């Protein structure tokens, strides 16, 4: 059996809108982009939404729009996709890492204030795997110290924290969603900036379009800008997907529940009480009680967490992944800590042991197949291979 790690959920509705654009005279900066922007702004409850060609581009533009530049510092997490830190380096600012909470994988707010210096300009939390960070605590820290909050909600569209949507104005000055094919909704490639700040929105619109002014006059450039535009074909996909977003989130919830039922006898979710599991080194995803709605991006398990040494933890993880691959089951390590990436080691001198909770998560985490089309039989197959691999390990 072949079980894919991820698959987009595309229907005739998406195909019809893309065909509509293909048969139109406008393939960029057209009505579908404006419609998609309005749909996301309305859904999240923001005044402005600015479509871009990737979540990475969106983060970069927000960093620039908030005036973060050379010598400034931004506090963030090392347990993330690398773009959430690279976006500071593009402007010669420095990402300052603090460790994560062991259960959620999100930045630990209790460690943030100790990392604040006179150079700190912002906090950039990441909603890992779709679960919002402790955004109220982060917002309060930022308020006390006069810092901007840029929420990386690239993995969390539709999630809610204490009844408020990820990316909303309750918790951040600006946020970014991403729409890669493995996300809750997809535009192929693409991202969306959301903010309530009119000036930030104007700057982002200008900078995504080579620095042109709001009138978009051809070859008239008011500031340094980039080719970060979203094309109309991608926006058409986005419009159709936003029309189905509740359906798509519900489908992913169904798959997460299938995994929880099938794997529940093998392990406990982190932080949960109960009888001893058959595989004590296995952890299932944990959703914090403050997260009033989880919009699942990926389903990440942890294996080998009870092993006595880092080497043994990594060996168990690698063994399970090898067995998955031999069985035709898609899987990936999620995430490799940013501070241990070769480029960051060379640039900042990071080493193993700097952020131990992040490193333990990186050694033990595996993303297993997760998409809207997964069947009970496929979930059962994944669980059976997992149990066999853990028994061997």
Eight-state DSSP code of residue 80: S
d(CA 320, CA 310): 16
Q: Taking the CB of residue 218, how many other CB atoms lie within 10 A of it?
A: 6
φ, ψ at 296 (rounded to 5°): -70, 125
pTM above 0.75, yes or no: yes
- Residue 274: predicted pLDDT: 53
φ, ψ at 241 (rounded to 5°): -70, -40
d(CA 179, CA 235): 10
Which residue is associated with the tokens 């581009």?
57
CA–centroid distance for 237 within its chain: 20
pLDDT along the chain (393 residues), means of 10: 97 98 96 98 98 98 98 98 98 98 98 98 98 98 98 98 98 98 98 98 97 82 96 98 98 98 79 64 97 98 97 98 98 97 98 98 98 98 97 93
d(CA 149, CA 134): 12
Q: Which two tokens stand for residue 300?
A: 């990440």
- Residue 280: predicted pLDDT: 87
Q: Taking the CB of residue 81, how many other CB atoms lie within 10 A of it?
A: 20
User: What are the angstrom distances between the C-alpha of 22 and each of 153, 180, 187?
Assistant: 30, 21, 15
Domains of the chain, first to last: 12-243 (3.40.640.10), 245-392 (3.90.1150.10)
User: Please, what sign has the CA dihedral across residues 287, 290, 292, 295?
Assistant: negative
Q: Which two tokens stand for residue 264?
A: 């529940």
Query: Are 64 and 89 a contacting pair, CB within 8 Å?
Result: no
Known catalytic residues? Answer: 183
Query: Are 316 and 304 a contacting pair, CB within 8 Å?
Result: yes
């Amino acid at each position: 059996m072949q079980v894919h790690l991820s698959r987009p959920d595309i229907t005739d509705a998406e195909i019809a809108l893309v065909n509509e654009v293909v048969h139109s005279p406008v393939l960029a900066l057209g009505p579908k982009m404006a419609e998609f922007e309005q749909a996301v702004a309305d859904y999240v409850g923001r005044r402005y939404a600015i479509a871009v060609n990737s979540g990475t581009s969106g983060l970069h533009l927000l960093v620039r729009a908030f005036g973060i530049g050379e010598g400034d510092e931004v506090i963030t997490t090392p347990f993330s996709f690398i773009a959430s830190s690279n976006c500071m380096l593009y402007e010669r600012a420095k990402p300052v890492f603090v460790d994560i909470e062991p259960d959620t994988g999100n930045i630990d707010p209790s460690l943030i204030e100790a990392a604040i210096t006179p150079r700190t300009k912002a906090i950039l939390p990441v909603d890992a795997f779709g679960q919002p960070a402790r955004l109220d605590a982060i917002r309060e820290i930022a308020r006390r110290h006069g810092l901007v909050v840029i929420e990386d909600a690239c993995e969390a569209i539709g999630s809610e924290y204490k009844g408020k949507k990820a990316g909303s104005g309750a918790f951040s000055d600006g946020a970014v969603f991403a729409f890669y094919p493995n996300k809750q909704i997809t535009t192929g490639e693409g991202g969306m900036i959301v903010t309530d700040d009119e000036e930030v929105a104007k700057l982002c619109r200008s900078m995504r379009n080579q620095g042109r002014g709001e009138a978009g006059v051809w070859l008239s450039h008011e500031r340094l800008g980039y080719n970060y535009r979203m094309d109309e074909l991608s926006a058409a996909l986005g419009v159709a997907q936003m029309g189905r977003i509740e359906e798509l989130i519900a489908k992913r919830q169904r798959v997460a529940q299938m995994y929880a039922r099938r794997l529940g006898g093998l392990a406990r979710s982190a932080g949960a009480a109960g009888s001893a599991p058959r595989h004590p080194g296995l952890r299932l995803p944990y959703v914090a009680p403050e997260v009033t709605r989880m919009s699942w991006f990926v389903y990440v398990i942890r294996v080998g967490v009870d092993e006595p040494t880092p080497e043994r933890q990594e060996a168990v993880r690698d063994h399970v992944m090898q067995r998955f691959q031999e069985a035709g089951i898609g899987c990936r390590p999620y995430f490799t800590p940013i501070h241990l990436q070769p480029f960051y080691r060379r640039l900042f001198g990071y080493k193993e042991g700097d952020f131990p909770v992040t490193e333990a998560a990186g050694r033990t985490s595996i993303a297993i197949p997760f998409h809207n089309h997964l069947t009970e039989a496929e979930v059962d197959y994944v669980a059976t291979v997992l149990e066999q691999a853990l028994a061997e390990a």
